């Protein structure tokens, strides 16, 4: 067994005061389990733009009391190194946590580290949805924030999301700066003295500043939710709600109360926070089967609409029962709800009489249908890299330029409706969804019928998003090298001619006059987008957290759904066979669900 790994494991035991993780390491040393010890101590958990997300357990590659404290020490030192020390301590930091195992402990460790450094700390005393941390940073003018959550990962995981003073998750170069400070501050501080400082430095943002009330008030004011249209000829909609055993239920209940909406029916077995996730082992509402209990509840209660939050309530999933002789549940794709929100937000803006220029943003791998809406109506559309850290920062920039940002969204059911919070927010999105659904019901329309009306005006937009597993970096590099062909990119795939190419690994973008990409370029990750003359788009990229090559293919046009589908299928098949070559490259497709 590697002497280095044994040494690191023994050093760990000297500093680990947690009985659970100590026993784990002692057992592995006793059993001489080299493979597992190397997994845990052979490297360190990398801090990136998403902060940390990993399995909980012992070792430097896991989420635990030691790695969380070291991260907090590095994060606090980075703030002190980049901001005025007196001001940053006075402004303080916001810390929230979800209902997962150890989340509260990790939040308290972070709070203790910051108090020892002299920071004011706003630590929520209750479990909160992720967007409330982002909002609280702005409302309290804090220097940054932390949310302890792994979002929709399985129960064995936890995470550490870091927010900058502008309320958005960090982007480069802050990630590498914080990572460097973590490595410079690995020696653990004695946290026992932190309790002596709590009287003057520790505050609950709800109890002392009523952050929750201000959050709801601002959302209602921005969305004009009190003006929720009701018709004498229609009844209030009934909606089934599931929190996926996460934090959302109490916050959604209160949100609906503020807009005087009384039609929510909870999925009783899934609304209470439960870190075991007994009915949904993988608590992502996008997953097949995740809404089965909600569908059953809808059938029993006579409701045609379902909304679901993921466990930290920053995302929103929507399903609706179709109209006709054989009604069935239609689970909306994130692109479909994003398009409906785009239509709804722009409609409300026009009705308001506000003359301010407006903008809608989505990620590069999301549908281009909202761009068609923007082109038709003459408002600004932009796309950013994947992730709300990019969408939120760009939204702030556009507001500084005089735009009103109506919506940011990504296909993975994340929506920023308005700009009360510069992050995806499943609570405010739920309010907007109810408002829109009630309006449509008054017009005798369903959400799906309204989406189909938009397709009639703008064309059909169909997509095929999937991935392959690839555990060999050399194969991944060879696939992208073949596509780049020493800068002589191919001109067509099958019969589909390429209009432009954007390579965010090299910085090349043929759609720009100087051939230089305007989006962030990262030579350490792979991402290429092809735009075709026949209104199709392909983006191929690697995952930052998993051994996956992901592809996002969209075809569109005014032709029939069947014709657009055929165009999409042909392009997908040709691209995969010619450039990914799954059999030759030993690429593993996802398991069929």
Task: Please check whether residue 79 is in contact with residue 115, taking contact to mean a CB–CB distance below 8 angstroms.
Answer: no
* 213-458 and 460-580, same CATH topology: no
Q: Tokens standing for 471? A: 């555990």
Task: Please check whether residue 285 is in contact with residue 244, taking contact to mean a CB–CB distance below 8 angstroms.
Answer: yes
Phi-psi region of 324 (alpha: psi -120 to 50; beta: other; left: phi over 0): left
Instruction: Identify the helix (H) or strand (E) that includes residue 563.
Output: helix 561-575
Distance, in Å, from the CA atom of 483 to the CA atom of 487, rounded to the nearest integer, reads 9
For the annotated catalytic residues, the residue numbers are 151
Fold of 213-458: Alpha-D-Glucose-1,6-Bisphosphate; Chain A, domain 3 (3.40.120)
48-209 belongs to which CATH class?
Answer: alpha beta
**Predicted confidence pLDDT, tens digits, the chain (593 residues):** 678 899 999 999 999 999 999 999 999 999 999 999 999 999 999 887 778 999 999 999 999 999 999 999 999 999 999 999 999 999 999 999 999 999 999 999 999 999 999 999 999 999 999 999 999 999 999 999 999 999 999 999 999 999 999 999 999 999 999 999 999 999 999 999 898 888 899 999 999 999 999 999 999 898 875 445 555 556 889 999 999 999 999 999 999 999 999 999 999 999 999 999 999 989 999 999 999 999 999 999 999 999 999 999 999 999 999 998 899 999 999 999 999 999 999 999 999 999 999 999 999 999 999 999 999 999 999 999 999 999 999 999 999 999 999 999 999 999 999 999 999 999 999 999 999 999 999 999 999 999 999 999 999 999 999 999 999 999 999 999 999 999 999 899 999 999 999 999 999 999 999 999 999 999 989 999 999 999 999 999 998 778 999 999 999 999 999 999 999 999 999 999 999 999 999 999 987 65
Task: Please check whether residue 144 is in contact with residue 137, taking contact to mean a CB–CB distance below 8 angstroms.
Answer: yes
Distance, in Å, from the CA atom of 321 to the CA atom of 319, rounded to the nearest integer, reads 7
Instruction: Identify the helix (H) or strand (E) that includes residue 160.
Output: strand 157-163
Chain centroid to CA 573:
29
pTM comes to: 0.95
Map out the domains of the chain as residue ranges.
1-42, 48-209, 213-458, 460-580
Chain centroid to CA 195:
34
Strand partners of residue 465: 552
- Cα end-to-end span (Å), the chain: 40
Distance, in Å, from the CA atom of 240 to the CA atom of 301, rounded to the nearest integer, reads 9
Q: Which of 491, 522, 273, 540 is nearest to 390 (CA)?
A: 522
Task: Please check whether residue 389 is in contact with residue 433, taking contact to mean a CB–CB distance below 8 angstroms.
Answer: no
Architecture of 460-580 per CATH? 2-Layer Sandwich (3.30)
Instruction: Identify the helix (H) or strand (E) that includes residue 70.
Output: helix 65-82
What is the β-pairing status of strands 239-242 and 305-309? parallel
Distance, in Å, from the CA atom of 162 to the CA atom of 389, rounded to the nearest integer, reads 10
Distance, in Å, from the CA atom of 539 to the CA atom of 354, rounded to the nearest integer, reads 36
CA atoms within 13 A on the CB side of 74: 27
Task: Please check whether residue 129 is in contact with residue 251, taking contact to mean a CB–CB distance below 8 angstroms.
Answer: yes
Before 173, cis peptide (omega within 30)?
Answer: yes
Tally: H helices and E strands in the chain = 20, 22
């Amino acid at each position: 067994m590697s002497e280095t790994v044994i040494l690191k494991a023994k050093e760990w035991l000297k500093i680990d005061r947690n009985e659970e993780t100590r026993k784990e390491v002692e057992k592995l040393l006793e059993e001489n389990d080299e493979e597992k010890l190397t997994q845990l101590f052979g490297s360190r958990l990398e801090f990136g733009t998403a902060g940390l997300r990993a399995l909980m357990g012992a070792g430097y590659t896991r989420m635990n009391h030691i790695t969380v404290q070291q991260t907090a020490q590095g994060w606090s030192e980075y703030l002190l190194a980049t901001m005025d020390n007196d001001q940053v301590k006075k402004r303080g930091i916001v810390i929230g946590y979800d209902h997962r195992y150890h989340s509260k402990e990790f939040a308290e460790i972070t709070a203790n580290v910051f108090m020892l450094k002299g920071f004011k700390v706003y630590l929520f005393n209750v479990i909160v949805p992720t967007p409330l941390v982002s909002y609280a940073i702005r409302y309290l003018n804090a220097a940054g924030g932390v949310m302890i959550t792994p979002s929709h990962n399985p129960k064995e995981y936890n995470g550490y999301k870091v927010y900058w003073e502008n309320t958005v998750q960090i982007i480069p170069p802050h990630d590498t700066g914080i990572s460097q400070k973590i490595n410079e501050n690995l020696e653990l501080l004695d946290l026992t003295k932190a309790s002596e400082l709590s009287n003057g430095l520790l505050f609950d943002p709800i109890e002392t500043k009523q952050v929750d009330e201000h959050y709801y008030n601002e959302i209602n004011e921005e969305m004009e939710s009190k003006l929720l249209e009701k018709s004498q000829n229609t009844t209030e909609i009934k909606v089934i709600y599931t929190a996926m055993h996460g934090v959302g239920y109490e916050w959604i209940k209160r949100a609906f109360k503020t807009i005087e909406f009384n039609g929510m029916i909870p999925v009783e077995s899934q609304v209470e926070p439960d870190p075991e996730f007994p009915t949904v082992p993988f608590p992502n509402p996008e997953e097949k089967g995740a809404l089965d209990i909600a569908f059953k509840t809808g059938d029993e209660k006579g409701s045609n609409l379902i909304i679901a939050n993921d466990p930290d309530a920053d995302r929103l999933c929507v399903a609706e029962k179709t109209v006709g002789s054989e009604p069935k549940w239609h689970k909306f794709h994130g692109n479909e709800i994003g398009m409906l929100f785009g239509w709804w937000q722009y409609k409300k803006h026009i009705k308001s009489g506000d003359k301010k220029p407006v903008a809608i943003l989505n990620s590069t791998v999301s549908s281009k249908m909202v761009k068609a809406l923007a082109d038709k109506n003459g408002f600004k559309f932009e796309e950013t890299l994947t992730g709300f850290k990019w969408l939120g920062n760009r939204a702030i920039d556009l507001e500084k330029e005089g735009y009103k940002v109506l919506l940011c969204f990504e296909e993975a059911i994340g929506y920023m409706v308005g700009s009360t919070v510069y992050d995806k927010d499943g609570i405010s999105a739920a309010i907007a969804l109810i408002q829109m659904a009630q309006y449509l019901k008054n017009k005798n329309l369903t959400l799906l019928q309204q989406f189909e009306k938009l397709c009639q005006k703008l064309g059909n937009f169909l997509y095929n998003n999937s991935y392959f597993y690839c555990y060999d970096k050399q194969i991944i590099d060879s696939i992208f090298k073949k596509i780049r062909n020493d800068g002589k990119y191919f001109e067509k795939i099958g019969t589909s001619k390429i209009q432009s190419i954007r390579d965010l690994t090299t910085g090349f973008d043929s759609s720009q006059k100087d051939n230089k990409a305007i989006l962030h370029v990262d030579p350490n990750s792979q991402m290429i987008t092809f735009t075709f003359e026949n209104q199709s788009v392909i983006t191929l990229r690697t995952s930052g957290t998993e051994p996956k090559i992901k592809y996002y293919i969209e075809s569109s046009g005014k032709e029939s759904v069947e014709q657009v589908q055929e165009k999409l299928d042909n392009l997908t098949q040709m691209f995969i066979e010619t450039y990914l070559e799954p059999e030759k490259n030993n690429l593993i497709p996802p398991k069929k669900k």
